[in-house]
Every structure is written in C-alpha cells, then in structure tokens.
Structure 1
Amino acid sequence: MTTKRIVIISAGLSTPSSTRQLADRMTADAVSIMRERGVEVEAQVFELRDLAHDITNHLLLGFAPPKLQEALDAVATADGLIAVTPIFSTSYAGLFKSFIDVIDPQALTDLPVLIGATGGTSRHSLAIDYAIRPLFTYLHAIPVTTGVFAATSDWGNGGDGVRSLPDRIFRGAKEFAELVERTDRSDLVSDPFALDRPVGHLVGGFTGE
C-alpha cells in the first residue's frame, strides 16, 4: 500500500480555535478519501501558536530551534500540505506569513496545498484567492482549485445545500487527495552535501578516468 505524508499547519491564536477545528475537518476528509482509494496516510499537525517564539528567533537570529526545525523538515519532505489561517485585516495572519518566510524557498516546489481560512464574516472569503493562493503559487507550490473559508455563521450548519461548509470541505479535500496521490516529490529531497560534479574537479581537475 502506498503511503503519503501530509503536514497540517494551523495559525489559530486561541484555544480552542476555529482555525484548528477547520484544519482537523479538512484533514479528516482528505485522509478518509485517500484511504478509500488504497493510499495510506501519515498526518502531522503543527500549531504555529506553539512555535511563535521560535519563528521570531529564527527571523532575528537566522537559525531554527529544534521544534521549529522539525516543522520545517516535515514541510520540506511532505507529499501534501494543509494550511489554515485566520483572516486579519483582509489577509492572512502575521504568524502564518512569518512561518512561510522561514521555510526554505525551494521546499514548497510542486507541493500540493489545500488552503483553508477562517473569519468573522463571509466577506473575507476572497482573501483565499487574492492573498493566500498567490503566496503559495509564488513559491511554486500547487494550491488546489477549491479553497475552504469558514465564517462564524458556517459553524453548526447542518450541511444542507451544495454551498454548506461540509460540502466545501469535502470538495477541497477530494481535489487535494487526488493531487497528492499522483504527485511524486521524492526527487526533490536531496542531500544538501551532495556534489553535482565529481570530486576530482575540486582537486586539480582529476576525474579518475
């Protein structure tokens, strides 16, 4: 059975958090769909609130403490990413953007991404397409077509109608699962100490031939 690794990052600031709740529901649907298709899934969740001090220190000092490095390594080697942020002042949270800023610029290349966002009213839903999606596209990730926005009024919806939150979550999760299943990023994980030329070129041009 094929095994895929997905990483979930939640930028909610409160406990409990509607952002984490949305991330959990998106993850549950994506994992369920992949397993139904015969794909085993390993899911790892990171609450950015718990990494806030480490992220700030990395921005200031240029190195990642162990817990933050674990999250960065997990993203770099993942087969898919579920990224969920609250919307503040019409855009993603500063903590969310700060985490993206400390990721290696090449780490998101060809990475399938399911985007989620939460906010007080549905008028903030466009932030997914004018703020969050361009961010991941710029970093050469592959955001799926459906982004999932959850306003306060969406919680407790019974699921009636094609525009309900459960339906949007399922649609996005299905697109994500299908993309993760057919995406192979194994050739992007390389040894940072590997040489792209024979070592003889570094010692007087000797090639061993």
Structure 2
Amino acid sequence: MFSGIVEAVGRVRSLRKGEGGARLGVEAPSVVQGVRMGDSIAVNGACVTVVAFGASGFEADLSPETLRRTNLGALGAGDGCNLERAMALGDRLGGHLVTGHVDAVGRLRGRRAEGDSIWLTVEAPEEVMRYVVLKGSVAVDGISLTVAGVEEGAFSVAIIPHTSERTTLTVKADGAPVNLEADLIGKYVEKLLAPHAQAGEAGRGITLETLKAHGYA
C-alpha cells in the first residue's frame, strides 16, 4: 500500500523493452536508501518490484500488463517519474490509500492559474469516472489529490506550489498520459451494494436512498 505522497522525483536511466516485457532503470539516490531486493516502489503510481539496486538507483521488471495499463512504457531516458516506497505498518497516512494498481491511463486536457495554484483538467474513462466524486480522492501519476471539479468524462484538481515543486505533474504538456487510480473505498462500497441492487433495485443503480438504507450516508 502507498499513501500518494511522492517522496522524490527520479530520473529514468533506461527502458529496455523485449518480447516478455521491459526492464526499467531509475536514478533515485534518496529512495534507494534502505531498499531491499523485492521491495515495492510506486513509479508514477504503478507498483513495481525492485529486482536490482545500487547506491544511486534501482531496476524493476515491467510485465506486458503493466505496459498496457500504465504510462511507464512511454518513458524515455532522462524523463522524471514520481516515486514512493511502500508504507510500513504504523506509518502515517498523509494522503489516501493507494494500491499501486493503475485503473486506466487518462490525459491532461488543460490548465489555468488561480492564485498560487494551478488547476489541471484530466480526461478519464468511465471505469475511473464512476468512482470520482467532488472532494473525493484520486491518484494521478501516484499523487494523492482532491477532486475539485467533475464534468462529463473529466475531472479537475487544484495543484498547490508544494505539489508542483515535488512532482512531475505540472511540467507535463497538455495531452500527456497520466496513470489514474480511483479511490479504493468507492470500489468496495460498489461491490458491497451490488447484490442489493441486483436483488430488488435493478435499473436504479446505487442511489442516495440505497446508501442511506445500508448505513453509508
């Protein structure tokens, strides 16, 4: 599990692709301190396993599934990537629960400045948007963010200066792919309520009345 609080921005050393997947090399001196073989690290929000490391970086194998469902396959030498080591039991949860299992790849659609913040609009597929709610949580390239606006097929987030300085998000161009992971709580609520909806509320979906009836609102 991760918290969505990026520890450092690493630099891609290499991405060697083959028939069975790819091997990603990342320069990240601060992140590899205390790392061990087999440890989990989130790279742009995608959980990968450390298969080799040294004093200044690590390597991880990327499966074909990871290459299909994330933006890691589009990385090139010198590109920045958001990094977070897996949480230890008892760590503070500074963001929200992030599994590192990317749901889909979205795209940055636009931005505007408001005071010191930058508003970003992210296009997302229905498999993510169904769990996106105003003031809820969403992970974008591994960053825990609060949803500030919702529209058809997209959502907006307000990026504060600290997040801009410590992640790659605001330096990406419009149209750039971003890894998206919807809030885990929403997925479990849907799973728990699905049998009730199928039993007597077919066609209505999950409504506010359904949530109230089962103690979720």
Structure number with the higher strand fraction is 2
Structure number with the higher helix fraction is 1
Provide TM-score, normalisation by structure 2: 0.28
